[in-house]
Amino acid sequence: MLKSDNSQCCVDPANLERQLRRFLPQHCLLVGEEDLRPYECDGLTAYRELPLAVCLPETEAQVIDILRTCHRLGVPVVARGAGTGLSGGAMPHAQGIVLSLARFNRILRIDRLARLAVVQPGVRNLAVSEAAAPFGLYYAPDPSSQIACTLGGNVAENSGGVHCLKYGLTVHNVLRIRVVSIEGEVFEIGSEAPDAPGYDLLALMIGSEGMLGVVTEVTVRLIPKPELAQVVMASFADVARAGDAVAAIIAAGIIPAGLEMMDKAATAAVEPFVKAGYDLAAEAILLCESDGTPEEVAEEIARVTGVLSAAGASEIRVSQSEAERLRFWAGRKAAFPAVGRITPDYYCMDGTIPRKRLAEMLSAIAVMEKKYGLRCANVFHAGDGNLHPLIMYDASQPGNWQRAEAFGAEILELSVALGGSITGEHGVGIEKINQMCVQYATPEIEAFHRIKAAFDERGLLNPGKAVPSLHRCAEYGRMHVHRGDLKFPELERF
């Protein structure tokens, strides 16, 4: 079990329960072991921990009281949405509470003229688009888990989706957030206007993984539904050519609504599950979507098919109906559960590399499969270089998980070496905290800690996640830092 970098003082559970019951109704506080078990992990099930309690507030006033109480008692707080995260960001702290925002599930307002929606953090991603549909609008970020994941979790992780290439990540589609600090103070960041004066704290908060504050309200940008959308599906005889085709599309000045890639192992898992119509003989397929007016779509489709043909596509198909387009995407979005049907366990990675290095990364992963003796299916947000290798293993077999974990770490560290990042949309959480030591040097790590201290001086919000201590990095062997050499000794407590 990975443990937190923080060593919080022991908390008196009985006193904590008494204090919380002063303002939380019976049904809003869970303390029994059986009730706590469902909260011991998020979508990354390899790391688990039981909290002391789970709070399920129903009002912002209750959130404020919870945070004030925990701040006063020195109790760590881990905010949680739907628990669909894949980096261990919502794994509880053994001496802390889980603050679930599941009951903050109301859409407060949809403004069709201003093209925005004001929602609570427990609202599901897909529910926003469903509510906006009668006005001809929708919310663009669409993670594969959009049927279940919540806006609060999307804000915490800066989630993306298959259409983020053209329409951006969560950070590009959120206008304003309402936040409660660890001291129980309420503040708002951003506005409904196109811009706000001062530092861009909105971008700082989005993707901060619950380490700076607890979000209680989100204002998101809505966009008009396009008149038409079509998907080009291209087959390739080898993955290198498919990777090169991705770079060629972007180099041609084309920014598709979506540009996704799946290798043969992924399509073989998906096709029996979804029956999307994928070419199972191809070593890799690309899905490239164009949207807009019929004239715009026709022009872009013609350009895309020309680039794909020149790049060596062995077969090119264009969706001929909305049902077929949705079927093509359903296969891609079902890749994770489809792989789950053919292996006892899988470990989903989330690195990002320059598009021109896709072929290089895929070749390296093939070598790693032999090195670790584990299979890997690859799906990519290829347009922005975001990789999702799915490493298949069997946790019941001794040593399997350790090999899978080492396999994943090597992929992430190669992503950095190729000029990329250890994450694209899943966040760091506890899963990638060691690789943060590879991506960043001492000055950057120190800067992260000073930002954390400005919002949460005692380090109570989601401790031990996302940002490693300098000593942890020294132990990982990438930064040789000794106690007497720390520039800011106060950073040691994080």
**DSSP letter string, 292-347:** ESHHHHHHHHHHHHHHHHHTT-SEEEE--SHHHHHHHHHHHHTHHHHHHTTSSEEE
Same-domain pairing of 330 and 244: yes
- DSSP 3-state of 442: helix
Q: Any residues with CB less than 8 A from the CB of 172 and at least 6 apart, and which?
A: none
Tell me, what's the pLDDT at 9? 60
- Residue where a domain terminates, one of 283, 309, 336: 336
User: Residue 172's domain spans which residues?
Assistant: 107-224
Residues 192 and 262 in one domain: no
Residue 392 counted as domain residue: no
The whole-number mean pLDDT for each consecutive block of 10 residues of the chain, a chain of 494 residues, reads 47 96 98 98 95 98 98 98 96 98 98 98 98 98 95 97 94 98 97 88 97 98 97 95 92 96 96 95 97 98 98 97 95 93 95 90 94 96 93 96 97 96 95 96 96 97 96 75 39 40
If asked whether residues 130 and 154 sit together in one domain, one would say yes
Q: Is residue 220 part of a domain?
A: yes
Do 118 and 216 have their domain in common?
Answer: yes
Q: How high is the pLDDT of residue 8? A: 53
Is 449 among the domain residues?
Answer: yes
Verify that 78 and 112 share a domain, yes or no.
Answer: no
Distances 5 to 174, 213, 420, 433, 473 between C-alpha atoms, Å: 31, 19, 26, 10, 11
CA distances from 441 to 20, 435, 436 (A): 41, 11, 9
Is the distance from CB of 78 to CB of 462 less than 8 angstroms?
yes
Q: How many domains does the chain have?
A: 4
Q: Is residue 150 part of a domain?
A: yes
Residue pair 67/461 in contact (Cβ under 8 Å)? The answer is no
Instruction: With beta carbons less than 8 A apart as the criterion, state whether 212 and 452 touch.
Output: yes
In three-state secondary structure terms, 227 is coil
What does pTM read for this prediction? 0.92
What CA–CA distance (Å, rounded) separates 487 from 493?
A: 14
The answer to whether residue 298 is domain-embedded is yes
249: exposed, middle or buried (Cβ count in 10 Å: 0-12, 13-18, 19+) = buried
Both 38 and 136 in a single domain? no
- Pair 198, 301 in one domain: no
CATH of the domain at 248: 3.30.70.3450
Question: Which of 175, 200, 224 is the C-terminal boundary of a domain?
Answer: 224
Q: Whole-angstrom Cα distance, residue 212 to residue 156?
A: 10
- Residue 374 domain-assigned? no
CA angle 235-237-239, nearest 5°?
90
Is residue 413 one of the residues assigned to a domain?
no
